[in-house]
């Protein structure tokens, strides 16, 4: 057991990082690092020296990396920058955590899969990313998992919350501005609340730091999303119904909404390995959406 453990949170200003700052507060001393460095140390994931300096100056007992290059379409024209942040930086983090055996928790994505399937993906299914974003996130996974660092990699999907740029906030804004919207209905996945991700991460971090979990026994790759599945159209319809909007929604195929980056048509993730290993429940996406909307009303 570590008294007042030091938790280095990288990407503290993102939508998952912001939630982590709240859920990790009872676990230990949260060192909130971000590119801007407004509420803690500054760190540039494209600069190995910056990462090494951050690690040496903070001497963390656990590292949680919630930072990523997430501009999926823009990554197609900025592959080097996406690779530096999503891939190369994880190699440096792995190197820094390996010798002192500092546990590191990192988030990856459903975009590592092609989406050409009809069953929920398991951790051992082949990764076949079809976008720069997916390829760079897969590179980051491998940098950690193929190293000797004590790492947990959590693949998640369709993340939304009360901050940042995400589908929920986009829909709420569009509902106020427009009377009719066209929404893709042939991409299937699982909307996942950033708060839920932060809560399970905090619980696992507490158990690691207080000796209830041995990182050497549980390290590896896990799928972590809410329960259930829907389409973007189904997600939008649930938001519309919950908020009482009278905006009309029209379902369309992906072919009518072209984008630079190819999306997986089906990217539901099987979370059984995570639930069995850690004994944590992952609520249905509809339940999480209701809680998030209630939180959003209070937040605003």
Residue 299: predicted pLDDT: 65
Alpha helix segments (H runs only) across 210-257? 215-218, 232-243
Structure confidence at residue 300 (pLDDT): 62
Q: Is 133 a catalytic residue?
A: yes
Q: Quickly count: other Cβ atoms within 10 Å of residue 29's Cβ.
A: 14
| Catalytic option among 69, 107, 121, 133 | 133
> What is the pLDDT, as a whole number, of residue 37?
76
pLDDT at 1: 64
Query: What's the Cα-to-Cα distance from 55 to each of 4, 21, 38, 122, 260, rounded to whole Å?
Result: 17, 18, 18, 33, 36
How long is the chain? Answer: 300
Q: What is the pLDDT of residues 154-172, one digit of tens each?
A: 999 999 999 889 999 999 9
Three-state DSSP at 193 gives: strand
Helix (H) or strand (E) holding 298: helix 285-299
Q: Give yes or no for a contact between 104 and 97, defined as CB atoms under 8 angstroms apart.
A: yes
> Which parts of the chain register pLDDT below 70?
1, 299-300
Q: Using CB atoms within 10 A of its CB, is residue 131 exposed (0-12), middle (13-18) or buried (19+)?
A: buried
pLDDT (tens digit per residue) in 25-45: 999 999 999 998 788 999 999
pLDDT, position 211 = 86
Instruction: State the pLDDT at residue 90.
Output: 98
| Domains, the chain, ordered by start | 6-165+191-227+267-284 (3.40.50.720)
Query: Tens digit of pLDDT for each residue in 96-105?
Result: 999 999 999 9
């Amino acid at each position: 057991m570590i008294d007042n453990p030091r938790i280095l949170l990288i990407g503290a200003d993102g939508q998952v990082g912001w939630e982590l700052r709240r859920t990790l507060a009872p676990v230990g001393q949260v060192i909130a690092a971000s590119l801007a460095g407004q509420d803690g140390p500054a760190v540039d994931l494209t600069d190995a020296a910056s990462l090494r300096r951050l690690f040496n100056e903070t001497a963390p007992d656990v590292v949680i990396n919630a930072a990523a290059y997430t501009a999926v379409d823009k990554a197609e024209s900025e592959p080097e920058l996406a690779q530096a942040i999503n891939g190369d930086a994880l190699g440096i983090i792995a190197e820094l955590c390996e010798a002192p055996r500092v546990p590191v928790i990192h988030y990856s994505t459903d975009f590592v899969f092609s989406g050409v399937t009809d069953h929920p993906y398991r951790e051992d299914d082949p990764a076949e990313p079809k976008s720069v974003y997916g390829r760079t996130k897969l590179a980051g996974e491998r940098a950690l998992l193929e190293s000797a660092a004590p790492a947990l990699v959590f693949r998640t999907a369709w993340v939304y919350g009360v901050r940042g740029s995400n589908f929920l906030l986009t829909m709420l804004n569009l509902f106020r501005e427009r009377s009719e919207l066209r929404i893709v209905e042939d991409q299937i996945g699982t909307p996942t609340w950033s708060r839920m991700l932060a809560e399970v991460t905090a619980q696992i971090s507490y158990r690691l730091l207080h000796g209830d979990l041995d990182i050497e026994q549980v390290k590896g790759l896990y799928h972590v999303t809410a329960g259930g599945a829907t389409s973007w159209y189904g997600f939008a319809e649930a938001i519309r119904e919950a908020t009482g909007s009278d905006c009309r929604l029209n379902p369309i195929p992906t072919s009518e909404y072209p984008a630079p980056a190819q999306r997986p048509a089906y990217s539901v993730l099987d979370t059984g390995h995570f639930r069995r290993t850690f004994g944590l429940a992952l609520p249905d996406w509809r339940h999480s959406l209701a809680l998030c909307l209630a939180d959003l009303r209070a937040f605003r």
